[in-house]
Amino acid sequence: MRYAVPVNGGRLAAHFGHCEAFAIFDINESTGEVAGKEFLPSPGHQPGLLPGWLAEQGVSVIIAGGMGPRAVGLFAENRVEVVLGARESDPEQIVAAYLAGSLEAGENICDHGHESHLC
């Protein structure tokens, strides 16, 4: 499976739609270990673009701090699971904690209140 974490400067980006890149992790499903890791530059912040683009990259799960409701819906349409409220800053630790069932997550940090906004 492929997991994605939005990043700025190699750390979890506070706003999903404004990240500079995505840390992509290929996880060996039988061992739960990282089989590959890469950073893909974001194609930019255009409403509705990122969910489809990440699905095209083979991403199955996106773990973010926050995201607007429209983006959550678009990910669901693309069969990508959304995990929100991540607090840890290191993307590899975020994925490892998620896989271990110990990810500390809070509330969705996207608080812009705009139905069409993609955090």
Q: How, if at all, do strands 59-63 and 2-8 pair?
A: parallel
**Stated pTM of the model:** 0.88
Does residue 2 surpass a pLDDT of 50? Answer: yes
Q: Which are the contacts of 114, defined by CB distance < 8 A and separation ≥ 6?
A: 68
Q: Could you tell me the pLDDT band of residue 109, with boundaries at 50, 70 and 90?
A: low
pLDDT tens string 11-43: 999 778 889 999 999 999 899 899 999 999 999
Average pLDDT over residues 86-107: 88
CATH (residue range 2-100) = 3.30.420.130
